[in-house]
């Protein structure tokens, strides 16, 4: 497979991450099918991509897109509740989360990937948008470990430029190259990251976790308030948001 062979992208999970990835993909000219659990969820997903806070309609109002660009992109988007509708996708990325209070659920991801592996055409490439789970562990439940990697976008994925492409010991080098280029076509700055055992996360989250823990320690020791910590990092280091003020968005209706 070559980068030009990727025409249709399947996305599992229609929450904030799935929406952002989907929006980036349709703006890059890819046909996108987003799957989630219920008609209500997928309808909300589609509406959010068009009319949401970071949606296409707002982009027109801000002068970021033309109406022609938005109409063309919106025509490439479809949603479904049926896994069978993803069978002919050339690339499938999973962006599902966990129950309240838990950002992700590894057991659920393994279950979903096993199901997808039996349905989606054998030559398709698979990727997980997991923030920290070891990619080799997820790939192991499929029969395409040579075409399975991580593609970690940052939220909101339609705005943030970073994208970590995580390669395992078994994935084909040409597959890594294809997904690196796919990310660039979607307007992202892609970086290669080696997969390691232990569910420790990748570059961004490993560093951010340490920073957040130290920020929390400052508050717990009574040195400064959370607001003060955030203000120092935003004004002193030009962070767009402080380490203690960042929210976490849901990843769809998956439980």
What range does the domain containing 107 cover? 3-194
Residue 187 lies in a domain: yes
Chain segment 202-243, per-residue pLDDT in tens:
999 999 899 999 999 999 999 999 999 999 999 999 988 899
What the block records as the tokens of 7 is: 């025409």
Distances (CA, A) of 216 to 31, 131, 174, 207: 43, 21, 42, 15
Q: Which of 48, 128, 129, 152 is catalytic?
A: 152
What the block records as the tokens of 203 is: 């570059």
Answer whether residue 119 shows pLDDT above 90.
yes
Distances (CA, A) of 34 to 22, 70, 229, 230, 234: 7, 18, 39, 35, 35
Residue 96 lies in a domain: yes
Q: Is-catalytic flag, 129?
A: no
| CATH code of residue 57 | 3.40.50.720
Residue 38, Cβ neighbours under 10 Å: how many? 11
Q: Shortest CA distance to 75 belongs to which of 41, 16, 36, 29?
A: 29
Chain segment 124-159, per-residue pLDDT in tens:
999 999 999 999 999 999 999 999 999 999 999 999
Q: In degrees, to the nearest 5, what angle opens at C-alpha 37 toward C-alphas 139 and 138?
A: 10
The reported pLDDT for the residue numbered 98 is 77
Dist. CA 133–CA 114, nearest whole Å? 16
Residue 21 lies in a domain: yes
Answer whether residue 120 shows pLDDT above 80.
yes
Residue 166, Cβ neighbours under 10 Å: how many? 26
Are 17 and 249 a contacting pair, CB within 8 Å?
Answer: yes
pLDDT tier for residue 1 given thresholds of 50, 70 and 90? confident
Dist. CA 217–CA 156, nearest whole Å? 27
Q: Is-catalytic flag, 131?
A: yes
Dist. CA 34–CA 36, nearest whole Å? 7
Q: Is-catalytic flag, 143?
A: no
Q: Which of 164, 170, 214, 227 is catalytic?
A: 164
Dist. CA 196–CA 166, nearest whole Å? 9
The reported pLDDT for the residue numbered 183 is 98
Residue 128 lies in a domain: yes
The reported pLDDT for the residue numbered 221 is 97
Q: Is-catalytic flag, 164?
A: yes
The reported pLDDT for the residue numbered 248 is 38
Q: In degrees, to the nearest 5, what angle opens at C-alpha 201 toward C-alphas 100 and 19?
A: 55
Answer whether residue 251 shows pLDDT above 80.
no
The reported pLDDT for the residue numbered 186 is 98
Q: Which of 24, 105, 129, 131 is catalytic?
A: 131
Residue 232 lies in a domain: no
pLDDT tier for residue 65 given thresholds of 50, 70 and 90? very high
Residue 208 lies in a domain: no
Residue 152 lies in a domain: yes
Residue 233 lies in a domain: no
Q: What's the mean pLDDT when you consider all of the chain?
A: 93
Q: Is 48 left (phi over 0), alpha (psi -120 to 50) or beta?
A: alpha
Question: Which residues are paired to 39 by β-bridges?
Answer: none
The reported pLDDT for the residue numbered 100 is 72
Q: Which of 78, 170, 181, 205 is catalytic?
A: 205
Instruction: Of 94-108, 119-133, 178-192, give the lowest mean pLDDT range.
Output: 94-108
Q: How large a percentage of the chain has pLDDT more than 70? A: 96
The reported pLDDT for the residue numbered 103 is 81
Total number of domains in the chain: 1
């Amino acid at each position: 497979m070559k980068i030009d062979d990727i025409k249709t992208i399947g996305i599992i999970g229609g929450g904030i991450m799935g929406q952002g990835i989907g929006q980036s993909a349709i703006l890059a000219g890819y046909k996108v099918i987003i799957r989630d659990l219920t008609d209500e969820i997928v309808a909300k997903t589609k509406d959010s991509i068009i009319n949401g806070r970071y949606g296409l309609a707002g982009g027109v109002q801000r002068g970021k897109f033309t109406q022609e660009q938005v109409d063309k992109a919106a025509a490439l988007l479809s949603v479904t509740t049926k896994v069978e509708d993803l069978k002919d996708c050339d690339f499938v990325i999973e962006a599902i989360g966990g129950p309240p209070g838990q950002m992700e659920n590894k057991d659920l991801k393994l279950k979903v990937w096993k199901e997808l592996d039996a349905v989606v055409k054998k030559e398709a490439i698979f990727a997980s948008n997991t923030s920290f789970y070891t990619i080799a562990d997820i790939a192991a439940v499929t029969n395409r470990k040579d075409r399975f990697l991580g593609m970690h976008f940052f939220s909101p994925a339609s705005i943030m430029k970073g994208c970590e492409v995580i390669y395992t010991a078994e994935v084909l080098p040409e597959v890594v190259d294809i997904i690196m280029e796919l990310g660039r076509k979607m307007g992202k700055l892609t970086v290669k990251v080696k997969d390691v055992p232990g569910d420790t996360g990748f570059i961004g989250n490993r560093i951010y976790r340490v920073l957040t823990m130290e920020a929390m320690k400052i508050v717990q020791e009574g040195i400064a308030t959370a607001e003060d910590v955030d203000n120092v990092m935003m004004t002193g280091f030009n962070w767009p948001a402080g380490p203690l003020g960042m929210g976490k968005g849901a990843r769809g209706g998956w439980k």
